[in-house]
Amino acid sequence: MKVVIVGNGIAGNQVAFSIRQRCKDTEICIVSAEAVPEYDPCSLPYFLGGDCEERAVYRKQTEDYQKHRIDLVYNSKVVSISPQEKTITTENGKSISYDKLVLAHGGDLFIPPIEGIRNNGVFSCKQLNETLKLRSHTGTRAVVIGSGAIGIEAAEALKKRGYAVTIIELLGWILPALFDEVTAKRLETAMAGYGIDVFTEEKVLRIQGDDRVTGVVTDKREIPCDTVVVATGVVPWVALAQTAGIATGRGIQVDRTMRTSVDDIYACGDCIETIDACTGEIAMFQLKHNAIEQGQIVARNIMGETVKYLGAYAFARAHFFDTHAVTFGKTMRATDCVLGDKELIEKENGSDYLRVILLDGKVVGGQAIGRYANDIGYFIAAMWRKDDMNRLRSKVRQLPADGAVHAWNQLHMEQVLKTT
């Protein structure tokens, strides 16, 4: 059997090496649009900021593929799939046959239609080659467009490199997909304390400069700069799947075994839409831990098991300088269209902050900053178990602000012991 994997990212490599662990004879081929072995995109801002060397970015070396007899084809972007002939075709005209095909090619950086966005001095920080260009660039003033996790981390990295840094966010607060406004505003205050300007509810109109970037014009101000970083998010690349007639929505659609709508073609990672593990809703969580698990599920099903994916879930960290925050599950804003009895629990102790969202007495999400972030795992476990928090809370009328998480944890353990 020959398994061909499109995409040399975390999901694709998880499929390849998981299959090899189970079978020494399966022919495995990874087709990559890039020219390097697998690397971790999440580490790129740390490399940019000088916190690690380039070698620390890589998750694999060429020797790893050779040792495990995995054929890695570089510089070969796949542009079409023929399910009838069971072949894929690359941009340079190469045809590769398969018995089982895995689409794990992720997504493309969303490039907003801003005048001047292709100018010299405009970069991204999502791919290694772009990060290398940004790292070698000489500048003093940078504007980061977008305030998702990559944007925040890129801003920190540039500040460490001595840049004056400004973040521009179109929506009302930073990290809008991950945090509620109340939590995000606390993080904005922390960023200001580190000398990074943050402007929210502001639209970039154009990037100035002919041969090089000289400034950014928004609907509220003009910001002189010599460097722009585009961090406006990633869009799942569905065009390739559509060449094979595969069903797509926001991303490639898969069933619980990670199969697409076309026989012998699977998909995993940032290019797919899947379900929320806790609510069963259609969801897209483009996060490393989900990609790894999805890759494992694909490998097991290709090798003859019948394993169902339980679904994806949101869990992310926002760490910059000395500020540490985490988020999981739904934000309060994401529950706006969800029916049920909603409740918000908040605890604050100085700069430490805890926010837990309940729906019908069960945890569906939470956010934490500082010391509370270290103990957020309890609430994630409660969400997975679908604990009835109203029953647990009835044992204690009021939780102390100091050590609230530990009090909840202790309460849960007491409940377990009583019912055993």
- Strands (DSSP E) contained in 110-163 are 122-123, 141-145
Nearest partner of 214 among 206, 200, 204, 224, judged by Cα: 224
Residue 210 pLDDT class (50, 70, 90 cuts) = confident
- What lies within 8 Å, CB to CB, of 6 at 6+ separation is 12, 31, 78, 88, 101, 102, 103, 104, 105, 240
* Tokens read off for 404: 């609230």
Task: Convert the pLDDT of each residue in 378-400 to its tens digit.
Answer: 888 888 888 887 766 654 444 45
Secondary structure of residue 363 in the 3-state scheme: strand
Share of residues in the chain with pLDDT > 90 (%): 70
Whether the predicted pLDDT of 417 surpasses 50: no
Select 122-230's CATH number: 3.40.50.1000, 3.40.50.300, 3.50.50.60, 3.10.310.10: 3.50.50.60
Among 24-38, 128-142, 362-376, which stretch is predicted with the lowest mean pLDDT?
362-376
Q: How far apart are CA 268 and CA 11, in angstroms?
A: 6
Share of residues in the chain with pLDDT > 70 (%): 93
- Helix count (H) and strand count (E) of the chain? 11, 26
Check the CA dihedral 369-375-381-386 and report its sign.
negative
Q: Domain map of the chain by residue range?
A: 2-107+235-302, 122-230, 322-419
Residue 176's pLDDT is what? 93
Nearest partner of 320 among 131, 199, 190, judged by Cα: 190
Residue 314's pLDDT is what? 85
Whether the predicted pLDDT of 352 surpasses 60: yes
Residue 396's pLDDT is what? 40
Q: Give strand pairing partners of 88.
A: 81, 96
Whether the predicted pLDDT of 336 surpasses 60: yes
Would you identify the CATH topology of the domain 2-107+235-302? FAD/NAD(P)-binding domain (3.50.50)
pLDDT (mean) for 201-228: 95
Nearest partner of 226 among 134, 127, 114, 151, judged by Cα: 134
Q: How far is CA 154 from CA 18, 83, 149, 227, 262, in A?
A: 32, 40, 8, 12, 39
Q: How far apart are CA 395 and CA 264, in angstroms?
A: 53
Give the Cα-Cα-Cα angle 410, 416, 417 (nearest 5 degrees): 90
Q: How far apart are CA 267 and CA 241, in angstroms?
A: 9
Task: Convert the pLDDT of each residue in 140-182 to its tens digit.
Answer: 999 999 999 999 999 999 999 999 999 999 999 999 989 999 9
Query: Which element (helix H / strand E) includes 411?
Result: helix 404-419
Residue 410's pLDDT is what? 52
Q: Do 2-107+235-302 and 122-230 fold alike per CATH?
A: yes
Residue 258 exposed, middle or buried by CB count within 10 Å (0-12, 13-18, 19+): buried
Whether the predicted pLDDT of 221 surpasses 90: yes
pLDDT (mean) for 238-246: 96
Q: pTM for this one?
A: 0.88
Residue 287's pLDDT is what? 86
Which CATH superfamily does the domain covering 322-419 fall into?
FAD/NAD-linked reductase, C-terminal dimerisation domain (3.30.390.30)
Residue 407's pLDDT is what? 54
Are 78 and 240 in contact, with CB atoms under 8 Å apart?
Answer: yes
pLDDT (mean) for 282-294: 88
Amino acid at 95: S
Nearest partner of 380 among 401, 407, 409, judged by Cα: 409
Mean residue pLDDT across the chain:
90
- Strands (DSSP E) contained in 231-298 are 234-236, 252-253, 265-267, 272-275, 282-283
Residue 395's pLDDT is what? 46
Residue 69's pLDDT is what? 96
Q: How far apart are CA 340 and CA 359, in angstroms?
A: 6
Residue 73's pLDDT is what? 97
